[in-house]
Amino acid sequence: MWNKIKIQFQSFLEFQVFGVCTWLGEKMGMKIATIRLYFIYLSFFTFGSPVVIYLIFSFILEHKEYFKPRILQQKQKRIWDL
């Protein structure tokens, strides 16, 4: 029972709480654990200011369809589409 709870908690942390680090790791081609460590070290050295940046990134990732340009969202009509 405790093992199942531990696995659920770990998956929640990896996919919900650390979604920004995962996204950055995929975009930059880096290991996610490395990005998380850099984030933690940077937070200690700058007294927590990266937390604000993390929250801004998480907001943008949650609502990224609103931040895309309108041209990319609309499907262009062609001559053959009547």
41-60 pLDDT, tens digit per residue, is 888 888 888 888 888 888 88
Q: Give how far Cα 36 sits from Cα of 25, 42, 52, 82, Å.
A: 9, 10, 15, 50
* Residue corresponding to tokens 């949650």: 62
Q: Is the pLDDT of residue 81 over 80?
A: no
Q: How far apart are CA 3 and CA 18, in angstroms?
A: 21
For residue 74, pLDDT beyond 70: no
57: Cβ contacts below 8 Å, ≥ 6 apart: 20, 23, 24
Between 15 and 29, name the one with better pLDDT. 29
Confidence grade of residue 32 (pLDDT, cut at 50, 70, 90): confident
Q: List, in order, residues 6 or more apart from 43 with CB less than 8 Å away.
A: 49, 50, 51
